[in-house]
């Protein structure tokens, strides 16, 4: 007996959620292991850094930019702060388009 499309979609969504949770746990472990680099920032500094890193991700998809965003996101999460995408709505649209089209950022000159 075959699963219905809605059951397959539900299982696929659960699998994606599990993968994202696993990646988030890995990011948290890595950040903590490296010593919580952003622990000394106040909440406003942390949020401004997160917004800047997210915006940079649109044009600089290099490891340093991705790591910076990941670290800032983990620190925000450790503080129980979840900014959502309201502060980076336009950048989120661009990134979604890039993902759907299977491409990276248009410019990588900020990467070393």
Q: Where are the domains of the chain?
A: 5-100
CB 72 within 8 A of CB 65: no
DSSP string, 9-49: HHHHHHHHHHHHHHHHHHHHHHHHHTT-TTTTS-HHHHHHH
Query: Residues 8-51: pLDDT tens digits?
Result: 788 888 988 899 899 999 999 999 999 999 999 999 999 999 99
The DSSP secondary-structure symbol of 50 reads: H
Q: Span 55-69, mean pLDDT? A: 91
pLDDT given at position 109:
47
């Amino acid at each position: 007996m075959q699963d219905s499309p809605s059951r397959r979609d539900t299982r696929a969504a659960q699998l994606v959620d599990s993968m994202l949770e696993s990646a988030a746990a890995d990011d948290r472990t890595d950040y903590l292991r490296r010593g919580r680099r952003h622990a000394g920032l106040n909440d406003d500094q942390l949020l401004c850094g997160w917004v800047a890193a997210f915006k940079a991700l649109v044009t600089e998809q290099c490891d340093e930019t991705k790591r910076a965003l990941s670290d800032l996101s983990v620190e925000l999460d450790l503080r129980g702060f979840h900014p959502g995408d309201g502060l980076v709505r336009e950048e989120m649209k661009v990134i979604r388009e890039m993902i759907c089209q299977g491409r990276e950022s248009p410019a990588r000159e900020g990467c070393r």
